[in-house]
Amino acid sequence: MNKFFSISLLICIMIFHLSCNGEPVKTGNKNGMIVTAHFMASEIGKDILQQGGNAYDAAVAVQFALAVVYPRAGNIGGGGFAVIRTKKGEYNTLDFREKAPLAACEKMYLDSLGNVLSGLSQNGDLAVGVPGSVDGMCELHKKYGRLNWNKLLLPAINLAEKGVVLTELEAEKLNAYQDRILAQNPTKEKCPYLKRTGFSKGDTLVYSDLAETLKRIQIHKRNGFYAGKTAHLIVDEIKRGKGILSLKDLETYHSVWRPALVGDYRDCRIISMPPPSSGGIALLQLLKGAEKFNLGQYKFSSQEHLHLITELERRVYADRATYLGDPDFYDVPMVKLLSKEYLDNRFADICFNKKSDSQEIKAGEVNWIESFETTHFSIVDKEGNAIAITTTLNGNYGSKVVVDGAGFFLNNEMDDFSIKPGVPNQFGLVGGQANSIRPEKRMLSSMTPTIVEKNGRLFMVLGSPGGSTIITSVFQNIINTIEFGMDPQQCVNAPRIHSQWLPDEIYAEPKAISSKVREQMTNFGHIIKIQKKIGMMANIFINEQDGLIGAADTLRHKDSRSIGY
């Protein structure tokens, strides 16, 4: 082979390797690592760390930056959860989940005959829960921040004022949602999220109203959002759309510090989110099932591996639908659900040569999951402070309602309640009394920001968007690492499957199941549906030898980025 061909071949192999494997693993970063869904937000996080901020300062700046550069899920009009492990090894979690408005009631989405009024919990002003993100960031900064609050808002304000250059992905997504955004904002001529001729990659979008809102938050902290001009703009908007959220709702909203949900799995300690997220409990149940059956003995992607995780997921999601809800309103049996005795019993009937039947429930027509609503970011600083935040508007662009004069989307989180027992929400999830609507109650979530310790040391910081698929994506990333020994990027890249009790189906990424295994599983009675992408991980791995290793899910979402230094 001559020199030219050798070099060309080498380049081809490198390109092939990159396109198959996403980002190569970069080792040697010791000073900080940020992984987010958008490269500009990751850069901002790094700048804050370089200015002497800690991981919590960087998280605040990233949350506000994502509200500008990634408006379909980054937000100030939504909510989320943070899981924290400090450099001293202390755990904490922050619940800044939205709440039902004071005027909400159990049957607010039903007609007089008890039928669901289609779409009301998903689009428009009645779908909006009381936003929690701004209060959450204020609380996070108050308790753990080091830099001046002003500095943390500055990058987002600059971006909004100067304009953001649209990536191909964001232009495509805005175009795909134009009709739905227009339907909720028909008279807003200056709305930056609407363009009659369609958006293109490279367009610069200036968000003047959002910049002013961020400045009010910069000056007045929580009062820049929950009182004064912003609060009035929100409530005026809600009234125009016949929603129920009031000034009193905004005034009384507060996020909550909750003890982390902690559980052991093999030689790891899992630190995750307790209710009102279902994520932590469900993740621990799944991991304990993986340990019980010694999942790692099977080959990755074998029939045994995929069948077993499906059977575990089926049982765990049935528990989720029945027992989980806001612990401030419903006595969630957390200890029981995670006890060895209970789980041994729960998983005892898993059979290795046939699928079990999910209980018959009349589940309505399920629209498949819009996969990248919600967003997750992970940050670790040089001192070892770590934070995993998952934050959301619920659907892409939430309720699609833009607050006139304030320039941001409001969430449609009310759809995460069980609006009628047994009727699935936009993710196909069903629920009952534990997750019924009550004034000021928080709707059940699947968000699963998680930190893993191994032998007492910080080992992984991870999470994902994806509605109901969040839990199973996080689960598969932990077992890919612990059971199957994958390296950080292999673990993120590996194809995923998802099952959630109802609908009684397995969703699989195109390369997740070989035709031979598919045939075996179909013979067991499984129904397999192909789903282009499941989840979008934003992971950090930590080990002494390699330092901080970021693993973004660039294969599934090319704008995402891990930045370390």
Q: How far is the CB of 420 from ligand GLY (least distance, A)?
A: 18
Q: How far is the CB of 392 from ligand GLY (least distance, A)?
A: 5
Q: How far is the CB of 207 from ligand GLY (least distance, A)?
A: 23
- 127 versus 154: smaller Cβ distance to ligand GLY: 127
Q: How far is the CB of 72 from ligand GLY (least distance, A)?
A: 13
Calpha distance 337→280 (Å, rounded): 11
- 167 versus 412: smaller Cβ distance to ligand GLY: 412
Contact with ligand GLY (CB under 6 A): which of 446, 481, 539, 562? Answer: 446
Chain Cα centroid distance, residue 319? 21
**What is the dihedral sign for C-alpha 299, 303, 309, 315?**
negative
Contact 35, 562 (CB under 8 A): yes
Residues that contact ligand GLY, how many (by CB under 6 A): 8
Q: How far is the CB of 445 from ligand GLY (least distance, A)?
A: 3
Active site annotation includes 374 = yes
Within 10 angstroms of residue 414's Cβ, the number of other Cβ atoms is 28
- 185 versus 445: smaller Cβ distance to ligand GLY: 445
Amino acid at 529: K
Q: How far is the CB of 542 from ligand GLY (least distance, A)?
A: 27
- 405-444 residues in contact with ligand GLY (CB under 6 A) are 416
Task: List the Cα angle 90/36/51 in 5-degree steps.
Answer: 70
Contact with ligand GLY (CB under 6 A): which of 54, 285, 392, 531? Answer: 392
Sole window of 54-62, 285-293, 375-383, 445-453 interacting with ligand GLY (rule: CB under 6 A): 445-453
Contact 53, 86 (CB under 8 A): no
Q: How far is the CB of 410 from ligand GLY (least distance, A)?
A: 14
Calpha distance 255→357 (Å, rounded): 39
Within 10 angstroms of residue 546's Cβ, the number of other Cβ atoms is 16
Nearest residue to 505 (alpha-carbon basis) of 495, 513, 515: 513
- What would the two tokens of residue 225 be? 């959002």
Q: Measured between alpha carbons, how far is residue 205 from residues 146, 243, 381, 546 in Å? A: 32, 29, 32, 39
Secondary structure letter of residue 243 according to DSSP? -
- 36 versus 374: smaller Cβ distance to ligand GLY: 374
- 431 versus 467: smaller Cβ distance to ligand GLY: 467
Contact call for residue 374 and ligand GLY (CB under 6 A): yes
Q: How far is the CB of 318 from ligand GLY (least distance, A)?
A: 17
- 274 versus 547: smaller Cβ distance to ligand GLY: 274
String of contacts with ligand GLY for each residue 497-536, x by CB under 6 A:
----------------------------------------
Contact with ligand GLY (CB under 6 A): which of 54, 394, 481, 539? Answer: 394
Contact with ligand GLY (CB under 6 A): which of 82, 181, 447, 538? Answer: 447
Find residue 540's DSSP bridge partners: 461, 550
Q: Give 3-state DSSP helix, strand, coil % of the chain, rounded to 5.
A: 40, 15, 45
- 393 versus 458: smaller Cβ distance to ligand GLY: 393
3-state secondary structure 344-381: HHHCCCCCCCCCCCCCCCCCCCCCCCCCCCCEEEEEEE
Contact call for residue 98 and ligand GLY (CB under 6 A): no
Q: Measured between alpha carbons, how far is residue 510 from residues 513, 529, 534, 560 in Å? A: 7, 9, 10, 21
Amino acid at 220: H
Which one from 213, 374, 391, 392 is the annotated catalytic residue? 374
- 96 versus 225: smaller Cβ distance to ligand GLY: 96
Contact with ligand GLY (CB under 6 A): which of 192, 274, 449, 467? Answer: 467
Contact call for residue 445 and ligand GLY (CB under 6 A): yes
Residue number of the CB closest to ligand GLY reads 445
Secondary structure letter of residue 89 according to DSSP? S
Nearest residue to 527 (alpha-carbon basis) of 370, 346, 323, 366: 366
Contact call for residue 60 and ligand GLY (CB under 6 A): no
Amino acid at 511: K
Active site residues: 374
Binding site residues, ligand GLY, CB under 6 A: 374, 392, 394, 416, 445-447, 467
